[in-house]
Amino acid sequence: MSESLASRLQLENISKRFGATQALKGVSLKVLPGSVHAVIGENGAGKSTLMKILAGALKPDTGSIKLEGNPFQAQGPAEARQGGISMIYQELTLAPDLSVAENMFLGIEPKLLFGCVDRGQQRKKVKEALAFLGHSEISPDTPVSQLSISSQQLVEVGRALVGEAKVIIFDEPTSSLTRIDTQKLFEVIARLRDRGVSILYISHFLEEVTEISDHYSILRDGEAVAHGNLKDIQLDKIIELMVGRSVEEMFPRREREIGEVVLTVDHLVGDGYPQDVSFELRRGEILGIAGLVGSGRTEMLRTLFGLDSVWSGKVSLKGHGEIQGQSPQMAIQRGIGLLSEDRKEEGLLTNLSIADNLTLSDYKSISSWGWVDEKKQIQSTQRRFKELRVKAREPRQVVGDLSGGNQQKVAIGRLVHQDADIVLLDEPTRGVDVGSKVQIYEWMGELAARGKAIIFVSSYLPELLGVADRIAVMNRGRLSTPQAVEELTEEEILRLAVMEQEAH
Amino acid sequence: MNEAPLNPQVSKGFSWQSYTRQLSLLGTIILLTLIFWILAKVLKGNNFLSFSNVQIMASHTVITALGAIGMTLVIVSGGIDLSIGSVIALSMVVTAWGVERLGVPLEVAVLMGLLAGSACGLVSGLIIVWFRLLPFIATLGMMGIARGLAKVVAERKPINLDYKGWEDSWLKYLTVNPSNVEIEGLPYLPSWILFQPAVWVTLLFALVMAAIFSRHIFGRHVFAVGSNESAARLCGVQVSRVKVLVYTICGLFAGIAGVIFASRQSQGDPTAAVAYELHIIAAVVIGGGSLTGGEGSIFGSIAGAVIITIIRSGLRSVQVTSDVQEILIGVIIVGAAILDRWQHRKKE
């Protein structure tokens, strides 16, 4: 980067310490106008801390921030937004009952006399913004709750746009988007970039990062270990820099034997979704389920687990025959385990201890007469720590304190503790760092090799193709016939995932 | 990536955080006692820490503490029970009514009182689970229902327990303060018992419930439900059953409190225990119970009940009127809740 190019945003020597952990150690970073700058790093590398500092949610211990050459120190998110730095958070922060226009102008409403909102002006600007983003089909008056996740995200982007943001930070924007919506978002980002907005793009999905970004900075353990142009670096090299070790093989394949059928699903219809789903699952098999978000994959797992009700169809379990009116508790007793896609809302009890989280679904095995044997509980927790390489201080630590990857390992550890024979995994690697991902793939391979059967729902096609034995595609609640992974390509899966929608 | 080092000291189900919390509660109790002791001495020349005053305070704590045991379960499960004061009054009245009006044996009457309390809790719990009502609304309704029922049963005036032999009954003895002097015709307990039996009974219940709460599967399930209901369901916890049980147990403890109240007052008063839900909820919150669920402990709540008694009786001993006492209790509830929020914010 030549000195003559004035940087839009310049971070110098930013450090931040939380108690005993040094979250950031002298990070410097330069973002050019009209460019997309990727901030890459494993979970816990310090990306979120850095972005929170930029967005004014945290104060750095040392270092300075310059926006267009002027010192910038926001006292809070609102001030950062006024100063020209907007953040699009992982979890959307819209008011669901307000309209698109009201949300976009929340806090910066154009005023008439006596503080009345100038609705005409507001609508006009919102329409302009949506048109600029290439989504004029969204009406300014629609309540946000009626929009899809990806459209809601556009409203967030629109909010940054009408606030005349100079820098927009995207924090894992695609984690809940389908491939198609991701492409749409990338078009929006490209438009913003062409308008001269600087984009900071944070993501775990490296393929995406290389697709959209111009420059990159890699964080590892709170330090910026590399900067540069993305066209000058290979994907493998990025991973190596991120994890600090070479990842020989993202998807380790283990030899395993596929055995007899353990689960037969016959014309299963649930409450809305799934619609007429049939398949067989075999011992030692990993069955991948692809499909768009909202296509009914989660609902299928929930129905199989007894969280959602079965309307018609048959589910037969080896050793139990046809099962009816199953509750989650019965499912667990029958050896079925479910990993929820939503770790925070449904997967973990974040203010309880790791030990309780790991053993909750099967207290019986560590208790007598209903009394939990704490010694056994701690022992089995420590065993899981070892098996899954959980990084934690001690078993009594509160789960909410752990990093995303480690939280996910705890959620997975619960299935291990439960010793489930049929494991239903809903987006097990979402929001998880590369290192933990590989460990999760390894664990899945190991389970299958031990004769367990796995249903693996994922929106990330490379991992489905890399890990599963067979893949079926969910489309509007219907499941395609599972096909051997060798016979499938990404294009074919995508075609199956959107086929019906195009016909409609 | 290696195995995390484990601190053997911390692995005994004992966390530093709860330890500091218990210490700070104990510190608060000592500090408040000291303050009121000095104030009472200087301003009024009374001995706040006299044997008889401590006995009285202990006996006052009993009702709040019993209620707080049940309320802790409810609050940790993520709910709240506003009906507890009314339910105490109802079971108090039912007990007295059973003996005096129905003429059943005392044991049967006590059982009726306990059943009345449990039934109120059971109904609240079922309504919350079946109709998915907010606990706030369901128990607000029960608050009116139980109070009204108490008045109907008692025909609007206290039922006095004055049958022949009442003064010598085991129930009356529960609330007899031990003393050095035996007065002819009055129930007597020797002073080595220190506190009235009801205090010891309450402590025993607290011990049992604390053990269940922290070690038994049921207790852990209560925490799970309060911490994250959908995650608990996913883990096979029978959420509805846990909730119904929690409210029923809370009702049972309200029943126990009511029976002991009847013993203390020697009557069943339908207007008793008004606004006790506030003191009881305050005790739980002061003791570390989080109104968002998932946090709280029995002994914390007991300490909270002790703190409330000390404040009330301390204020009384320096002759602050009961209206001002109410104001201060209100301030303390809000203060404790703010402190709780702060601590949560700090954790994040």
Structure tokens at A67: 């926006």
| Position A112 confidence tier, pLDDT thresholds 50, 70, 90 | confident
State how far the Cα of A308 lies from the Cα of A271, in Å rounded to an integer. Answer: 7
Beta bridge partners of A368: A371
Please report, to the nearest 10 degrees, the dihedral formed by the alpha carbons of residues A100, A101, A105, A110 taken in order: -170
- Is residue B233 within 8 angstroms of chain A, CB to CB? yes
Inside any domain, residue B337:
no
Does position B14 have pLDDT exceeding 50, yes or no? no
Output phi, psi for A419, to 5 deg.
55, 50
The CATH number of the structural domain formed by A258-335+421-504 is: 3.40.50.300
Closest partner residue to A328 (CB to CB) among B3, B15, B233 is B233
Inside any domain, residue B28:
no
State how far the Cα of A251 lies from the Cα of A247, in Å rounded to an integer. Answer: 10
Across chain A, which distance is largest between two alpha carbons, in Å? 75
Mutation target to probe the A interface, by most A beta carbons within 10 A, among B235, B295, B348 is B235
Contacts of A75 (CB under 8 A, 6+ apart): A56
Closest partner residue to A351 (CB to CB) among B3, B237, B295 is B295
Does position B326 have pLDDT exceeding 80, yes or no? yes
| Contact list, B7 vs chain A (CB under 8 Å) | 393-394
| Position A200 confidence tier, pLDDT thresholds 50, 70, 90 | very high
Per residue in B248-272, pLDDT (tens digit) is 999 999 999 999 999 999 999 999 9
Whether residue B170 contacts residue B112, with contact meaning beta carbons closer than 8 Å, is answered with: no
| Contact list, A395 vs chain B (CB under 8 Å) | 6, 11
State how far the Cα of A177 lies from the Cα of A294, in Å rounded to an integer. Answer: 10
What is the chain B residue with the closest CA to A400? B348
Q: What is the mean pLDDT of chain B?
A: 89
State the Cα angle at B150 between B149 and B155, rounded to 5°. 95
Closest partner residue to B227 (CB to CB) among A352, A378, A389 is A352
| Contact list, A345 vs chain B (CB under 8 Å) | 228, 230-231
Residue with the bigger pLDDT between A48 and A448: it is A448
Report the gap between the CA of A347 and the closest CA in chain B (Å).
5
Rounded to an integer, the average pLDDT of B31-41 is 91
Mutation target to probe the A interface, by most A beta carbons within 10 A, among B234, B291, B347 is B234
pLDDT value of residue B4: 37
Report the gap between the CA of A299 and the closest CA in chain B (Å).
13
Whether residue A221 contacts residue A197, with contact meaning beta carbons closer than 8 Å, is answered with: no
Rounded to an integer, the average pLDDT of B307-322 is 88
Inside any domain, residue B280:
no
Identical fold at A9-243 and A258-335+421-504?
yes
The count of domains in chain B is 1
| Contact list, A374 vs chain B (CB under 8 Å) | 12-13, 215
Residue with the bigger pLDDT between A91 and B102: it is B102
Inside any domain, residue B125:
yes
Closest partner residue to B236 (CB to CB) among A329, A386, A396 is A329
Whether residue A198 contacts residue A9, with contact meaning beta carbons closer than 8 Å, is answered with: yes
What are the domain boundaries of chain A?
9-243, 258-335+421-504, 350-419
Q: Using CB atoms within 10 Å of the CB of residue B334, give its burial: 0 to 12 exposed, 13 to 18 middle, 19+ buried.
A: exposed
State how far the Cα of B275 lies from the Cα of B263, in Å rounded to an integer. Answer: 20
Output phi, psi for B135, to 5 deg.
-55, -35
Q: What is the DSSP letter of B292?
A: T
Whether residue B61 contacts residue B69, with contact meaning beta carbons closer than 8 Å, is answered with: no
Q: Which CATH number fits domain A9-243: 1.10.20.140, 3.60.20.10, 3.90.1300.10, 3.40.50.300?
A: 3.40.50.300
Record: contact B230-A345, CB cut-off 8 A: yes
pLDDT value of residue A246: 59
**Angstrom distances, CA of residue B246 to CA of A215, B55, B177, B304, B321:** 57, 31, 32, 20, 36
State how far the Cα of A28 lies from the Cα of A133, in Å rounded to an integer. Answer: 31
Inside any domain, residue B216:
yes
Residue with the two structure tokens 């309390």: B117
CA-nearest of B344, B288, B337, B213 to B22 is: B288
Structure tokens at B162: 């004055």
Per residue in A168-197, pLDDT (tens digit) is 999 888 766 767 788 888 988 999 999 899
Closest partner residue to A346 (CB to CB) among B2, B12, B234 is B234
| Contact list, B232 vs chain A (CB under 8 Å) | 349, 360
Inside any domain, residue B321:
no
State how far the Cα of A201 lies from the Cα of A220, in Å rounded to an integer. Answer: 16
CA-nearest of A153, A422, A446 to A306 is: A422
Domain housing B81: 50-274
Where do the H-state alpha helices sit in B228-297?
A: 229-234, 239-265, 276-286
Record: contact B1-A361, CB cut-off 8 A: no
| Contact list, A333 vs chain B (CB under 8 Å) | 236
Inside any domain, residue B283:
no
- Is residue B237 within 8 angstroms of chain A, CB to CB? yes
- Is residue B18 within 8 angstroms of chain A, CB to CB? no
Rounded to an integer, the average pLDDT of B289-296 is 89
